[in-house]
Amino acid sequence: MNHSARNQTTPSNNTIPQAMLILLNLIALSFFILILPNLRKHKKPPPHRKPTPVQPLHPPPLPVQAGQDLWPNLVPEICAKTSGGDSISWSGKEVLKTQDCNFCTRPSLVGQQRLSYNRIDVIFAPHNECFRELKILCVVHLFSSKKVQYFYPIRREEDSKMIEKISSLSSASEAVNLSELLGSYQLYHLLERIFKEMDEFYDEIISDHLDPNKPKYEHKDFVDVLLQLKEERRFSFDLTLDHIKAVLMNIIVAGTDTSAAIAVWTMTELMKNPSIMKKLQDELRSVLKDKSFVEETDVQKLEFFQAVVKETFRLHPATPLLVAHEAVQKCTVQGYDVLPETSVFINAWAIGSDPPSWREPELFMPERFLGNSINFTGQDFEFIPFGAGRRICPGMLTGIAGLELALANLLHTFDWKVPTDVHEEDIDYDGVPGVTMHKKNPLCLVATKRTHDT
């Protein structure tokens, strides 16, 4: 997660934020532009039904709202609700587990294809041998539990800088724009221009890592590891600089951007629910005492904190509609014929807000996860913010580690309140449409640093 604040007034300083939002919105737009050629006639009508509104306190993310009326006319969304009382989690389970082999590839959409260097990445690649080897490379060398621990010093350094920045704003009695500080991006412009900007950005990163005069650090980062693997030539395909750029795009889109979104949504919910905020900070300060920094080993002791993170993922999945799957071959799902190249969208938000699976799903209620074994690792199909099966997010452990470390330190180090000219009820849940669902209106809060005896 990139915690450095960004200047959003000067275009030359805004290249990465602009590039990131256009990247996300172009990917989302390509779903709608190119889905029609993939439709086929079915023996039975497609299994659509307009979802029942279940969330008056937390409006559904905008693409999901649009899906209530628009998507049934466009694509067979297998994850739509098909009857009033049945849980919809079984729909996702059939696509992502029972028939995972039939839906493990991705549709070829123009925005995704351009920004993933012709689909040689991990997120948008077709399910082929190159994808399988690249996924193994990423899981083993970048995202394994061992590598999550290896990269911890880098996360710690970044979070320390974030705490210093907020402390400076706190001392000056200035409000903290958490949406900006945590990396919530806003973008503009067109595909080719943004691709060029992002490509230049990746080139700059790679050149910096290849510089023989670059300072040597004890811990290598993701780019160091990828460049080393390129030199070692271990794979059946040539790992090129374009592969490395495509993986960097994945890390930014599926790692940095989604973690930033979830962090802001968590802080939003805590400000709207002060009793939960108090309970969470009481746990942090009871367990950690006067420690000035929360370490990753401390996070595992924080049961209620982890329940809060899970509840945020349930109500505000960073990717409300999981990245589209595509049928590899003709198959039958719940009595419906699905032809090859049919795009299938899994509605993670609807599954996490489904009344048969969740009591009072419209409420932010972290206690539902206490003493509950349900987790987001892809085994519990009523809760799949990271997907499941062959295309589950490979960077899940890394993303969670960065998110939890940042949030725990924000909440342990500072007390938070709204600015004097804002009321808590003015904080809204409006989102920005895109693959990643960011908060539309920036979350600006006043931080007061706690004093520690040590």
- Do residues 205 and 223 touch, judged by C-beta distance below 8 A? yes
* 3-state percent breakdown (helix, strand, coil) of the chain, nearest 5: 50, 5, 45
Distance CA 178, CA 1 (A): 13
Distance CA 324, CA 343 (A): 6
- Do residues 113 and 124 touch, judged by C-beta distance below 8 A? yes
Q: DSSP assignment, residue 188?
A: -
User: Which one, of 150, 144, 161, 404, lies nearest residue 295 by Cα?
Assistant: 404
- Do residues 345 and 292 touch, judged by C-beta distance below 8 A? no
Distance CA 254, CA 176 (A): 25
393 has binding-site annotation: yes
Angle between helices 191-210 and 241-250 (to 10 degrees): 110
Q: DSSP assignment, residue 428?
A: -
Distance CA 239, CA 117 (A): 13
Count CB atoms within 10 A of the CB of residue 264: 23
Sequence ranges of the binding site: 393
Sequence ranges of the binding site for heme: 393
